[in-house]
Amino acid sequence: MRPAALVTGARRGIGRATCAALAARGFDVVGADLEAEGAAETEAAVAAAGGAFRFLAADVAATAAHGALVDAAWAAFGGLECLVNNAGVGALARGDLLDVSEASFDRCLGVNARGAFFLAQAVARRMLSADAPARGKRSLLFVSSANAFMPAVERGEYCVSKAAASMAAKLFAIRLADAGIAVHEIRPGVIRTDMTAAVADRYTARIEAGLSPIRRWGEAEEVGRAIAALAAGDIPFTTGDAFHIDGGLHLHRL
Q: DSSP of 211-241, one letter per residue?
A: SSSS-S-EEHHHHHHHHHHHHTTSS-S--S-
158 is known as an active-site residue: yes
CATH code for the domain of 138: 3.40.50.720
253 assigned to some structural domain: no
Q: What is the pLDDT of residues 88-112, one digit of tens each?
A: 999 999 999 999 999 999 999 999 9
251 assigned to some structural domain: no
57 assigned to some structural domain: yes
pLDDT band at 76 (very low <50, low <70, confident <90, very high): very high
Number of domain units in the chain: 1
SS3 246: coil
Catalytic site residue from 53, 74, 142, 158: 158
204 assigned to some structural domain: yes
Q: Residue 155 sits in which domain range? A: 4-245
pTM > 0.95: yes or no: yes
pLDDT of residue 164: 98
d(CA 138, CA 150): 30
**What's the whole-number average pLDDT of the chain?**
97
252 assigned to some structural domain: no
Q: What is the pLDDT of residues 192-228, one digit of tens each?
A: 998 888 889 999 999 999 999 999 999 999 999 999 9
Is it the case that residue 188 has pLDDT exceeding 90?
A: yes
pLDDT of residue 106: 98
254 assigned to some structural domain: no
pLDDT of residue 195: 82
32 assigned to some structural domain: yes
Is it the case that residue 115 has pLDDT exceeding 90?
A: yes
9 assigned to some structural domain: yes
pLDDT of residue 148: 98
pLDDT of residue 6: 98
Asked if 142 and 83 touch (Cβ cutoff 8 Å), the reply is no
Percent of the chain with pLDDT over 90: 94
d(CA 59, CA 9): 9
Q: What is the pLDDT of residues 123-182, one digit of tens each?
A: 999 999 978 887 899 999 999 999 999 999 999 999 999 999 999 999 999 999 999 999
